[in-house]
Structure formats: structure tokens, C-alpha cells
Amino acid sequence: MALRQIRTLGDPILEKSCREVTEMTPRLEELIQDMLETMYDAEGVGLAAPQVGVRRRIVVIDVGEGPIILVNPVITESDGEQTGAEGCLSVPGQAGTVTRPNHVVVKALNEKMEEIEVEGTELLARALCHELDHLDGVMYVTKVEGELYDTDSEEEEETEEQGEETSAEETAAAQAGKEERSDENTK
């Protein structure tokens, strides 16, 4: 397994339609594993093959309920509506407001080319719609209501700094503890 480079907005491959998978090959199996690893490494909830430069109808999703692998996915049912923040690993550091169905059913094949059906509401429905759009070369930025905004706020940076301070203190405390224990051992 290996991390793959995530293509970013402006790369022409992100606006192209992807081809169906007709046969699972070792190369595509490796692609799926790499996509999962790349998605987790980037702390995303979904990744589509064109985002790593491969024009194939494959997406991986994990909204915190375990990995979902979809080959040749198609939305067969969609209803309701949700409006909320959406981001994309291909548009780092930004988010925007997008309205999506609140519930979708997707038919697809899994990594063994077996037929599966995935039903999702809320975040999973949003992730399914977003990732399937990638397979048709549609970026979420074309569906944003209003403007994109930066997600790297100063507030987040401050929290990170505080986190680092705490861990540094903990390390110091742990080291102090070790020294005390070794003193005891010498006595």
C-alpha cells in the first residue's frame, strides 16, 4: 500500500467523466487499498479515483462507521434535503454550503465485484452524492451557495498550540517520573 498524490482544483482530470470497471484486477485492488490509505491519511470521509489521477468509477467512503468501497456506483433513490458545510480533499483548506438529498440509496459493486446496496442519510448521503459527482467530473464548488470560505481559522491554530504545550508538559512530567524511579532503584 502507498499514499497517492491528491489532485487539486484546476487539474483537468477532476472535470472528466470516469470509465466503468468491467473486471477487478490486481492493479485496481491496489488502487482501492491506496485510496483508503490516502483518504485516512488526509483525514477525509471520502475519495474518488479521479482525485488520485485514475479515471475509473471507484470511490471509497468512511464517515466513521467503517470503510465503504463502491465500484460503478449509481444512485437509485434520493429524497429529502439537507443544507450544510461541505469540503473536498481536492480543495484543501476551504469549505462551502451545499444542498444535497438527505437520504440516498446507491447500487454498486464491491471490491469483489459483488452487487451491493448502500443506504445513507445525513453525512453519509452527502458523502455518497459528493463522491459520485467526482465520477462525472463534477466538483462541489460548482454547487456551492454563496462563497467558499477558509477552514484554517486562527481559533483552530490556537487549540493546536495549546495541545502541543500540554503534551510537552506531560512528556516533562513523565521524564521527571522516570528520574525519580531510577533514583529509587539506585537506593
Measured from the CB atom, the residue of 58 and 88 that comes closer to Zn ion is 88
Residues 51-80 that bind Zn ion (CB under 5 A): none
Instruction: Name the segment binding Zn ion (CB under 5 A); options: 2-10, 84-92, 119-127, 177-185.
Output: 84-92
Question: What count of residues does the chain have?
Answer: 187
- Residue whose CB is nearest to Zn ion in the complex, by number: 88
Can you tell me the distance from the alpha carbon of 178 to that of 117, in angstroms, rounded to the nearest whole number?
A: 54
Active-site residue, selected from the candidate residues 131, 165, 169, 179: 131
By CB under 5 A, is residue 88 in contact with Zn ion? yes
Measured from the CB atom, the residue of 88 and 106 that comes closer to Zn ion is 88
Can you tell me the distance from the alpha carbon of 87 to that of 95, in angstroms, rounded to the nearest whole number?
A: 4
Measured from the CB atom, the residue of 109 and 135 that comes closer to Zn ion is 135
Can you tell me the distance from the alpha carbon of 150 to that of 165, in angstroms, rounded to the nearest whole number?
A: 25
Instruction: Name the segment binding Zn ion (CB under 5 A); options: 22-30, 35-43, 88-96, 116-124.
Output: 88-96
Tell me if residue 131 is catalytic.
Answer: yes
- Bridge-based pairing of strands 103-109 and 46-48 is unpaired
Can you tell me the distance from the alpha carbon of 47 to that of 130, in angstroms, rounded to the nearest whole number?
A: 9
**SS3 of 127, please?**
helix
Measured from the CB atom, the residue of 8 and 153 that comes closer to Zn ion is 8
Distance in Å, CB of 131 to Zn ion, minimum: 7
Residue count at the site for Zn ion (CB under 5 A)?
1
Q: Summarize as ranges the residues that interact with Zn ion (CB under 5 A).
A: 88
Catalytic residues: 131
